[in-house]
Structure 1
Amino acid sequence: MKIPKMIFIGVIENKRDRITFNLIKEILNRSSYKKYHQNKKGNMVVFNKDNNHIALIDIKPSLINDVVELGIEFNILVHTFLNEEDYKNKYLKELCKDVEYIMLNCDEEQWISLLDEKSKGIVITYGFSNKATINPSSYNIHEYIEMNLCLQRDIVPIEGDIIEPFEFPVILSSKDKTDIYPGLAAISCSLVLGNNISENNSPYFLDGKK
């Protein structure tokens, strides 16, 4: 599949530290993408590689209505944590409706409410559930979070060959177990972009505070 000239990635999360957004930025920087533009608020960053652009947009729940009104057609939408009130927003499902790929935290109680029965997008779930597309097969928390992540089903990326199931080690610079979710989300996004991080046998280190 030929990569589009511009890929729009939206990250929906309510964590104050915006760790999922920061992890995806970190992964893009390490994947030979160069920061092309960043707005003053820092919630939209455009990356460039070989004349292809990726626009990464941080979508706080308070911005969902505005983003829908802008009519951005997202190629990838990443969902992490939302509050109960956020799920009541009628614009939220509208935002998720026509994306090409949607990454969903399937440990969130209301995650399935984000899916539209008419949507033709590819759903990639992540979490501790053994039914998730990608989950941690094991983890330890000491100075860092050390985990083995397991891709349980094929992923057809936007660009490149099909990524088949595999298991690989990841180290996340955090002691907070809930930060495993942003780690899973960011790596899922990276795989959809065609970055097969399993090609390197050494642990994949993520900071998330940059």
Structure 2
Amino acid sequence: MNQILTVIGALDSENDNIIYDIIKEMFIKIGYRIIYEKQMISLLIYGKSLILMIRLTPDMIDHIYGLGLDIDILLHKSIDTAEYANSHISDMIGNTKYIIMNIDDKEAKYILSDDIDGLVISYGINPKATITASSFDFSNNSRFNLCLQREYRNLHGDKIEPMELPIVLNLMGKSNIYYGLGAIACGLTCGIDIDVIKDALFSIRGMNRYLEKIYDGSYMIVDNRCNLPSDYDLILEEIQNIKYRDGYIVNGIEIDEGIYTVKNNLRIIINWAPILNIRKIYFYMDKEEDLIIDNINLLFERYEIEYEIFLDLRRCLHNSIQGLEDGDLLLLMGGDSLEEGKTILKSLI
């Protein structure tokens, strides 16, 4: 039996490339199964179709270039500005059949050059994108209208006609719209029917601890890994797009973070609290540290935000869900100290 191999490269700066994981999960939902997997690559099979997925981080780009492996579909979300100068990126893209590019990334133009032979498929909120989205509705999932504005031919030579249809993405937050659009563009280019893609995205679970829904019933519990102030700021900005009644936060504080980082994280939470209608914050500390406790008290005594400090995670989580009512949102934010939060909460609910 002759196998057809498609090589998909997901271009990003981070090892935890979210678009890579979402597209892989989409293929699994469609019926593909993983036959080989390492940290940077996954090999999937479905009938005669083989898909090799590669995380194109800077180091991996150099390895792939050295091997002379051609990429069939290159997926771009965003990378650090300095990395656009890597000549191996432009060399690799020059031999790529399809470049699926986030048009809303202002630096994306630097990955393109005049000698590109492949087809560029842009996606994003920009109305000029090949694949765009409009009429957003964010709650416990993301709803939008998908519009493919120009026809093109997929990897098998079949024509994909312009289309417009509603999509329900079982993921929260505006940023996940981009991952959804990238996944749709990739699926269509691979020759997968849009209705099959739509069904897969409706039940997709997404990344562990990235706007992850732990519970979605009368109230909602969401978990997100946060370590730095920028992580807190980014995720709280995402939360403002979600519909809910009152908001509550469980914040995991690790002593090893250091007082400087902890204080900056706390200031981010304080700044967002009135905007997001945060009623109470439950602090969990992995160790008792008087300096951090004193700083929490000093920072919060000036604001009308109720808070409690716990040294036991189970007790902290137990208390945090006791007052939740219909339509409320409980947001878990922290690093390794909240790693067991999902398991504990599922035993409590």
Same fold (TM over 0.5): yes
Q: Deviations over 1:51-81 (max 9, x none)?
A: 3311011112343222222211111111111
Q: Does 1:130 align with 2:127?
A: yes
Q: Does the aligned pair in 1 maintain the 2:26–2:197 contact within 8 Å?
A: no
Aligned partner of 2:225 in structure 1 is none
In structure 1, how many angstroms separate the alpha carbons of the residues matched to 2:152 and 2:3?
18
Q: Does the aligned pair in 2 maintain the 1:136–1:149 contact within 8 Å?
A: yes
Aligned partner of 1:110 in structure 2 is 107
RMSD across aligned C-alpha pairs, in angstroms? 2.3
Computing the radius of gyration over CA atoms, which structure comes out larger, 1 or 2? 2
Question: 1:38–1:115: structure 2 CA closer, same or farther, 3 Å change rule?
Answer: same
Residue pairs, 1:50-199, within 5 angstroms: 50-159=47-156, 161-198=158-195
Q: Does the aligned pair in 2 maintain the 1:168–1:203 contact within 8 Å?
A: no
In structure 1, how many angstroms separate the alpha carbons of the residues matched to 2:121 and 2:186?
9
1:201, CA displacement in angstroms? Answer: 8.0
Q: Deviations over 1:60-113 (max 9, x none)?
A: 234322222221111111111111112122222122111011101111112122
Aligned partner of 1:14 in structure 2 is 13
Question: 1:116–1:134: structure 2 CA closer, same or farther, 3 Å change rule?
Answer: same
| Letter matched to residue 12 of structure 1 | L
Question: 1:209–1:102: structure 2 CA closer, same or farther, 3 Å change rule?
Answer: same
| Letter matched to residue 175 of structure 2 | T
| Letter matched to residue 106 of structure 1 | I
Aligned partner of 1:33 in structure 2 is 32
Q: Deviations over 1:119-167 (max 9, x none)?
A: 2111100011111000102211122221121111113111363111112
Stretches of 4+ aligned residues off by more than 6 angstroms: 199-203
1:15, CA displacement in angstroms? Answer: 4.9
| Letter matched to residue 179 of structure 1 | N
| Letter matched to residue 208 of structure 1 | G
In structure 2, how many angstroms separate the alpha carbons of the residues matched to 1:208 and 1:97?
31
TM-score of the aligned structures, taking structure 2 as reference length:
0.55
Q: Percent identity?
A: 30
Q: Does the aligned pair in 1 maintain the 2:184–2:197 contact within 8 Å?
A: no
Greater helix share, structure number? 2
Q: Does the aligned pair in 2 maintain the 1:68–1:91 contact within 8 Å?
A: yes
Question: 1:193–1:145: structure 2 CA closer, same or farther, 3 Å change rule?
Answer: same
Q: Does 1:208 align with 2:203?
A: no
Residue 137 of structure 1 aligns to a residue in which SS?
strand
| Letter matched to residue 108 of structure 2 | W
In structure 2, how many angstroms separate the alpha carbons of the residues matched to 1:75 and 1:136?
25
In structure 1, how many angstroms separate the alpha carbons of the residues matched to 2:115 and 2:108?
17
1:12, CA displacement in angstroms? Answer: 0.6
In structure 2, how many angstroms separate the alpha carbons of the residues matched to 1:202 and 1:49?
17
Q: Deviations over 1:30-70 (max 9, x none)?
A: 2222222112x2x2111112233110111123432222222
In structure 1, how many angstroms separate the alpha carbons of the residues matched to 2:154 and 2:99?
12
TM-score of the aligned structures, taking structure 1 as reference length:
0.88
In structure 2, how many angstroms separate the alpha carbons of the residues matched to 1:160 and 1:32?
22
Question: 1:199–1:190: structure 2 CA closer, same or farther, 3 Å change rule?
Answer: closer
| Letter matched to residue 8 of structure 1 | V
Aligned residues: 206
